Amino acid sequence: MSKANEIYYTAGLPVPETPEAGAEPSFWKQTHIVGKALPRVDAYERVSGSAVFPSDIKIPNMLYGAILRCPYPSATVTSVDTSQAQDMKGVQAIITGSSPEAANLKWKYRNFETSLFDTHVRFEGEEVAAVAADSFYEAWDAVRAIKVDYEVHSFVVDHDKALDKTAHKVHDGGNLISEDTYERGDVKKGFSEADTVLEHRYETQAELHTPLELHGCVTNWDGDRLTIWESSQGVYAVQSKVAEVLNMPLSKVRVVGHYMGGGFGSKLRPGKYTIISALLAKKCGKPVKTLLTREETYLCVGNRPSNTMELKAGVKKDGTLTALEFQCIGPSGAYPAGGSQLVDWLIRDLYKCENVRTISKDVYINAGTARPFRAPGHPQGSWALEQMMDCLAEEIGMDPVELRLKNIPDFSQAREGNPPYTTTGLRQCIEKGAEAFGWEQAREEVREHNRKGSHIKRGVGMGACLWVVGGGGPPSTVVIKMFRDGSVNLNMGASDIGTGTKTVMAFVAAEELGIDPGLIQIEHADTGTTQYATPSGGSKTVPTEAPTVRNAAIAIKRQILEMAAEDLEIPVEDLRYQGRKIVSKSGPDKSITVTEISGLKKRGVIVGVGYRGPNPENKTVNPFAAQFCEVEVNTRSGEIKILRFLGTNDSGRVMNRLTYDNQVFGGIVMGIGLGLTEFRQLDRKHTGKLCNKNWHDYKLPTALDVPEDMTSIPIELDDPEANNTGAKGLGEPVTIPTAAAIANAIYMATGIRFTKAPINPIAICRMISGGKE
């Protein structure tokens, strides 16, 4: 072997045994690449600016699209006059609801069907017309020149009032979308057995995704074939929706998504802007780039719904939970989207309790439609449950950590048949987190500090969680090619949404094949060139794609062994794959380097195809987490400073320690936003309009809001039942308990229980002075 080829192999590291055809691969007991803190395989492209995002795409003769949106939360479009706009400089095309291209097109929000340009507009920002022009500025000048007559209606933007008899009806059938009830045991009996019963009302505000890269796409037609470069979490999801709306074969729609600048759930599906851009491109016969403005993204591409929750809980003196009763109401927005979906899941399943009843109501309001937002429903439910657990602990004189440890289940209580967890690391997350944080000592030190009488108070708090999914599952297909020099091409359709998916998959292939991950070239997500994958979201990407990659690598190894057996003239069963060499199990005298195998040299490339197998039957795969924090509160100014944060996570095997910790810290920062800074402010009384649709008025956490002291502790439990890599989801659980942990810490600092999020300096000062939240 030449020196050039020598570098392709990881010298001296053992390679996993190759299973026989049809047999399941053995669980990795020890890894040598997977789990290490190694740089991302695409790090240079990302930091150098050479990575091409959809917003970077430029095509010759490209036009720019802009969309006219309704300025009212509820209105009827009575006329649209485009005559002035059509004559403006640079304008190439205008489409409205009456245009032939758009007149018969339908758009579905779940089971609700509406027009692409509906004359009955139900939220500020709903689409009315669109323009394509030679430049971005000319397109927007033309949009502003379109004259629209509206019949303005009354509105409802407060979900708590959406079901009032006098409330404006967003749709003719009323504002109640659904009411979901769950019950087990006997809640009334459970409360009668409790020594302490508490009941509180909790509220969280709507959050907006506001990712760094704007939503949008570039669309281009070549005859009857459409190519879309979209900032998306799943290229195949975009392909499917566009083909459905435009009544096209899937084979005629190609979606490319090499890189994307954040989505957090809001880019799991395309928007109407994708269809509008395609129509404009078709009408003009030129490519069209349609990128939404920052202000538009605040209005029309999703949110984490606000929720109002009431939680009643009963506990015995020994810490046994006897009953939980929960009610919540949340808005989908103007169209169905699951405004209260999964908000009650933690109440159902996190802590052991025989008697549970939940009622969740989803309602319409005149505001932008919700979309999934990192761990849908769970942070809101955690805000209520984790604060209630602390309240119960205080009432019975028990440490909050001890109360949680008293009520840990080893099976899913909310699922039919109560299937056991493949692994449940909740206890370890809490115990090891408390130990590393110094929980008992910190509580004592904080009490001592607060006794000194300073206006600067301190507190520590914690929270725990699980994520309802996180085990991934089929379908997934991955193709790996090994070239005659031993280098590898990895082909998969999963989008890397910034979490390091490409890096993890390269590591999995490198681990199984015994090669340097730097010599693996990965294809970017593209429906025209890569394999089918579901969208990246819900913490399912790694546990879905990693086992598939491993299966594809194993398929390569089997072929290599068969070819080597022919060259060495010994049975394939007597051979072992060892990275750069194939050796006989009988002795080292018979061996051959991979690049010298005649079959590989002759064919030039071999192909391995991997498929994702089913999840284990009658078992539940869930990740678990716990978080601990210390805060400082200035009782004069209301300023809140987070001093330190620690997160423990049972997400199975750590696939890459750098990207793992990135996820933990990023999730905590996002949870700080829910707890302390972020909220969508709608004018509920006068206009119904959004008041803070920019980064100045919508307060995202900054570096000044984040503690310097942040610690990530993986709880790595072997989980061979979950999948053949042992990985579980991480991206969602890392943000679920954060806000509640902060609220619990603020209570310890101030002695005041804040049940409305976010907790800001104004709320602190108001409550300290004896007012209400």
Active-site positions?
A: 732
CA distances from 209 to 206, 296, 299, 387, 660 (A): 10, 12, 11, 25, 21
Whole-Å CA distances, 505 to 225, 237, 494, 543: 31, 21, 10, 11
Cα–Cα distance for residue pair 712/24, rounded to 1 Å: 33
Query: How many alpha carbons fall within 13 Å on the CB side of residue 215?
Result: 29
Q: Phi/psi zone of residue 700: left (φ > 0), alpha (ψ -120 to 50 degrees), beta?
A: beta
Q: Pull the structure tokens for residue 67.
A: 């969309």
Distance CA 736, CA 754 (A): 18
Q: Which helix (H) or strand (E) holds 526?
A: strand 525-526
- Could you please report the per-residue DSSP string of 659-725? HHHHHHHHHHHHHHIIIII----B-TTTT--BS--STTTS----GGGS-SEEEEEE-----TTT-TT
HEC assignment per residue over 24-62: CCCCCCCCCCCCCCCCCCCHHHHHHCCCCCHHHCCCCCC
One DSSP character per residue, 501-524 reads HHHHHHHHHHHHHTB-GGGEEEPP
Chain-centroid distance, C-alpha 646: 21
Question: For the CA atoms of 499, 493, 264, 461, what is the dihedral angle to 10 degrees?
Answer: -40
Residues constituting the chain: 773
Q: Which residues contact 512 (CB under 8 A, 6 or more apart)?
A: 15, 16, 549, 550, 553, 554, 557
Contacts of 399 (CB under 8 A, 6+ apart): 393, 440
Measure the CA–CA gap between 170 and 155, rounded to whole angstroms: 8
Whether the ω angle into residue 305 lies within 30 degrees of 0, i.e. cis, is no
Under a CB-based contact definition with an 8 Å cutoff, are residues 554 and 610 in contact?
Answer: yes
**Which token pair is 124?**
């500020």
What are the angstrom distances between the C-alpha of 143 and each of 47, 67, 134, 146, 693?
A: 36, 7, 13, 6, 19
At residue 221, the 3 state secondary structure works out as strand
Report the C-alpha gap between 22 and 35 in whole angstroms: 27
Tokens standing for residue 213: 């890269």
